[in-house]
Amino acid sequence: MKSSVLSLAVLAALSGCSLIPEYERPVAPVPANWTEGVESNLQETQVISWRSFFKDPELQRLIGLALENNRDLRVAALNVEANRALYDIQGAELYPQVDVNGNGTRTRMPADLSNSGDSMITSQYTATLGLSWELDLFGRIRSLREQALQDFLASDEARRGVQISLVADVASTYLTLQADQALLDMTADTLKTYEESYALTKRSNEVGVASSLELAQARTAVESARASLARYRRQVAQDRNALTVLVGQPWSATAGNPMLLDEDVLADLPVGLSSEVLYQRPDVLQAEHQLLGVNASIGAAKAAFFPSISLTGAAGSASSDLDNLFGSGSEYWTFSPSISVPIFRAGALKASLDYAEISRNQQIAQYEGVIQNAFREVADGLEARETYVDQLTAQRALLEASEDYFRLADRRYNIGVDSYLTLLDAQRQLFEARQGVISDRLSQLLSEITLYRALGGGDFANQAAERGEAPEA
């Protein structure tokens, strides 16, 4: 009879219904394409790997170190493990809880309390195997388990987002360091040239050839270059400190030469993109998992309106003599099924359901907001790509014109056609044009890295497999 009752209970638990509302992904409140007439050439399952996007070997080495040692990424990974543990805890509620218990009691009864009028010592010993099980007939426990699963998956997407951001931050900081170092070297060379010109102008002024105004202009150029040199020294030091924090340990450059900024340090990103690529972004996937988790909580809130059925039982041995605890005739068992039907909770159950449904509506709005922000970031990145190409082309043309201006001014000054002030102006303009080329090239590279981040680029050869499998309970 006991086996029949247990079989019926198992069948009832396995056939329990689910009250989780059917999930439908909200329609993305963004256009299908970034620009009109652009065809999609990036499929939803494609991955932009950082190993193929960043071509500089030294940068690849630093990214590898950061992925191993960065503390923020380590915290994100531990958060995933913590959510996995919570999922396992919640999943265990679906199964019977089995315990082994042993008890022993010896009691002395005073004579005035004994029926026989004599003092008595009684003993009782039990050894039992206990079982307790809540039958999940209406899916409350499974709804909570589904919510825990979605929390786990959301935390994993958060970890992936931290990783993508870390890769992008390391690359941005590394390229900024390269640009600041180039500016520092260029400024040091320029300062040396300015100091030489100042020394010549000072001697010319002493013999009455150069005016005091020309001498003052020459000194102004020297001091301005010195100020720039100090600024770039500070920026280089700060860039190295920032890179050390990102990498997670002290580091030094390798013996190999890093790629220069004017080389192809980054691979080309796809140009024609469908907005479907947004669904690959970790923040979008995280928001959707959170939405699924809130949706599952509605099922748990609905199930709370229905009866809760629990099975509790124990089987073992009981005896007044420890030596005879497992002897013949000492068998002991008890079976106590229970049912709890909510009758009056002063509106608490209805309020819990209302809260779950309101939370779902809030999460839908948040999900749509994440989609819109992701669309804007990618659209801005695609627009920046085009404009930075034009800006850098114009800045390089300005540099060529400034170089021609300087050569003409230097020649005309040497033959006495123009004043020294014209030559100083040409030097200043050439210096600013060289700075502008380096700064604009850096801005172009940083915009490509921002677009890489916005497209959800990452380090995984198979992201779908990482996201598609639930953890074992």
What are the pLDDT tens digits along the chain (473 aa)? 444 444 544 544 445 577 888 888 888 777 766 554 333 333 443 556 888 899 999 999 999 999 999 999 999 999 999 999 988 988 888 888 888 888 888 787 787 767 776 777 777 878 787 888 888 888 888 998 999 999 999 999 999 999 999 999 999 999 999 999 999 999 999 999 999 988 988 888 888 888 888 889 889 999 999 999 999 999 999 999 999 999 998 888 775 667 788 888 888 876 555 667 778 889 999 999 999 999 999 988 888 888 888 888 888 787 777 667 677 767 777 878 888 888 877 888 899 899 999 999 999 999 999 998 888 888 888 888 889 989 999 999 999 999 999 999 989 988 888 888 888 889 999 999 999 999 999 999 999 999 889 888 754 334 443 444 445 54
What pLDDT, on a 0 to 100 scale, did the predictor assign at position 116?
72
Q: What is the pTM of this model?
A: 0.81
Beta bridge partners of 122: 107
What pLDDT, on a 0 to 100 scale, did the predictor assign at position 191?
94
What pLDDT, on a 0 to 100 scale, did the predictor assign at position 46?
52
- Return d(Cα 218, Cα 222) in angstroms, integer: 6
Beta bridge partners of 339: 309
- Return d(Cα 466, Cα 6) in angstroms, integer: 38
- Return d(Cα 323, Cα 309) in angstroms, integer: 38
What pLDDT, on a 0 to 100 scale, did the predictor assign at position 9?
46
- Return d(Cα 47, Cα 159) in angstroms, integer: 17
Kindly give the interhelix angle for 140-206 and 282-303, rounded to the nearest 10 degrees.
150
Choices 3.40.47.10, 3.40.50.1980, 1.20.1600.10, 1.10.510.10: CATH for 19-94+138-306+347-468: 1.20.1600.10
Q: Which amino acid is at 277?
A: V
- Return d(Cα 97, Cα 99) in angstroms, integer: 7
Q: Which amino acid is at 18?
A: S
- Return d(Cα 419, Cα 410) in angstroms, integer: 10
List every span in the chain annotated with CATH 1.20.1600.10: 19-94+138-306+347-468
| C-alpha distance across the termini of the chain, in Å | 31
List every span in the chain annotated with CATH 2.20.200.10: 96-135+307-341
**Superfamily of segment(s) 96-135+307-341:** Outer membrane efflux proteins (OEP) (2.20.200.10)
